[in-house]
Chains A and B, each alone.
Chain A
């Protein structure tokens, strides 16, 4: 039979048009205010860490895919995004080899050992960060390595010098990233702006950041009630350090967050509460990293709570 050849496939024949690559590139766009503020705040050293991490992530990804005989898909932006997010957690003064080790772990182990895109059980950038933090804790002490900075590390101030030192940081300063921390992670206002963009675009489901922040704020409030002299107020916890960055760029990482609505809320809440527990009782002032890694490990459990499917509810 002659005539034009038509496309045949199973339905649906429409597609929303939103593709994976678009999600990752838009996430990079959402990250750009953070990157700009990082460069303004830390200058060339931040450019150095960001560029190195981004480039290394792309190369490691390409090598991993080549070794596995997979089709190269580094152009979808996910590796670059992971590299940049990882770099944002580092101090601007991080040595080059630390950047490379962290990126290697993040992409090589965090992403590819488990099967590549979409399969990571924990946020790849956080895995890279955690390995660095455990192996060379001194190099990630922002207050040890960033000696030339005018700012101080608010969460360390809280831990070592108490509430008054912490609250000497004005909220506006915290929002503007006038604080010591991960070079991008401490850009609280920029992270919030980028995060709101991600939520508005439907890339980040709002429940995860909202419940994460709510969990942290509520537990900070409870802690304040229990120890009025020691504890900083909840708003401080929301703005200090990497909280907002974690809420929008780490906790919602698709591969390792649950999908159901109630599950996302529970997961976010748990991660937020864990942040406060680590900040109050842990040895490390920041808390977001390990809180989210732990919450990631509970994702399969959260995924089990779901409403019953149509017609299968208790009659």
Chain B
């Protein structure tokens, strides 16, 4: 199974969700946000500390009370004071809709990207990749809040119909939604492929898709609780973490000790982002932490492509990856676009199977970054 790149997505859930550590400091990334507090200021748990810029970016709230220790570069650091106070929840006024609702949700910390006006709203409760069970767990544990979140988001996008995409074999549903079962095999839980499974069309037109974590956040927002935490898989367990908790503090609680040469990932093994330090914080919508021990998997090399075609055959969106990745490697980005670079889901399966261990996804991301920087006029900020 695994050697051929077929990964089942559904897993047994372990005992109840475990609480994360009470972090001694929280680190809040400020990318796309403007700080609302100054160094030295005392903050209460649940207080907004940075304002989201643009039409989709939600504000950031501190999960802990304490003192703003530093605002440097793109990170805001708050030192926890366990005796500090808390902001009382202020439920959203019922019946809000349209731009007013969007603004209130952003003010509660929700990111609204992908939630455009659409006739169909899809709630994706399929685990995105192996080792990441947060969606499965959320659907299982938070039914009332999810039901509330569905109502709120349905109103937000103006959808006539809400579909819940669940792994085949799951009994669970949500009030106000139709169930559509998805084969729980990677990468069929990724948004584009879920949309295809639900609508039969390879297009996002007329569809908004949102994962259950954001539906849960919408439900909590309606009850007046801002986004201050996230649910992540680590090992066999799920943890409910305060945003900004460092990996070091979580790992200490969970008894995980990564060694030199291991890969420490925020996210799962196929799409996760490798971290160079355990001081890295957990952020909004993170779903998993993964440690891949050194030597357990061959790393990338720069061997010659043997033209075996395995990458092309495994690509879920029918890209001729064997040609496209070489166009990327040699800087022929327009050619790469003609070879469908634009539809890549970044699922990583091509590089997983490549016997020459080519860093294909790295080439793809480089090509995309180059094309983006070319498209932007000089001096503009991405």
Contacts and interface: CB of A to CB of B under 8 A. Distances in A.
A61 to B, nearest CB: 13
Contact of B353 (A6, A16, A308, A315): A16
Interface centre among B260, B305, B308, B357 (most CB of A within 10 A): B308
A135 interface: no
Contact of A313 (B202, B270, B308): B202
Contacts of A20: 303, 306, 355-356
A118 B304 CA distance: 7
Interface string A1-21: 101111111111111111110
A202 interface: yes
Interface centre among A9, A15, A19, A312 (most CB of B within 10 A): A15
Interface in B194-218: 202-203
Interface string A301-315: 001001111111101
Contacts of A309: 317-319, 340, 343
A59 interface: no
Nearest to A2: B277
B300 interface: yes
Interface stretch (A96-104, A151-159, A253-261): A253-261
A13 B265 contact: yes
B251 to A, nearest CB: 11
Contact of B307 (A4, A202, A259, A308): A259
Contacts of A19: 298, 355-357
Interface centre among B269, B297, B306 (most CB of A within 10 A): B306
Contacts of B357: 15, 19
B10 to A, nearest CB: 18
A306 B2 contact: no
B263 A7 contact: yes
Contact of B304 (A116, A259, A308): A116
B3 interface: yes
Contacts of A73: 303
B155 interface: no
A6 to B, nearest CB: 5
Interface in A222-267: 254-261
Interface in B38-66: none
Contacts of B134: none
Interface in A10-36: 10-20, 22-23
A13 B306 contact: no
Contacts of B263: 6-9, 13
Given A254-B306, A310-B192, A310-B343, A13 B290 contact: yes
Interface string A176-190: 000000000000000
A261 B264 contact: no
B161 interface: no
A32 to B, nearest CB: 21
B5 interface: yes
Contact of B318 (A3, A14, A310): A310
A9 B312 contact: no
Interface in B266-288: 267, 269-279
Given A3-B278, A15-B298, A311 B343 contact: yes
B143 interface: no
Given A9-B299, A11-B348, A12-B348, A119 B307 contact: yes
Interface of A: 1, 3-20, 22-23, 73, 116-119, 202, 205, 254-261, 303, 306-313, 315
30 contacts: A3-B277, A9-B263, A10-B359, A11-B270, A11-B271, A11-B273, A11-B351, A12-B348, A14-B352, A15-B297, A15-B298, A15-B357, A17-B3, A18-B3, A19-B298, A19-B356, A20-B303, A20-B355, A73-B303, A118-B307, A254-B308, A256-B307, A258-B309, A260-B313, A307-B318, A309-B318, A310-B317, A310-B343, A312-B340, A313-B202
9 smallest CB-CB distances across A and B, nearest first, come from A259-B309, A12-B348, A310-B317, A309-B340, A10-B362, A4-B260, A311-B202, A118-B306, A8-B274
Given A10-B274, A12-B270, 20 more contacts: A3-B278, A4-B260, A5-B276, A6-B260, A6-B263, A7-B294, A7-B299, A10-B365, A11-B351, A12-B269, A13-B263, A19-B298, A19-B355, A118-B305, A254-B308, A254-B309, A303-B323, A310-B318, A310-B343, A312-B340
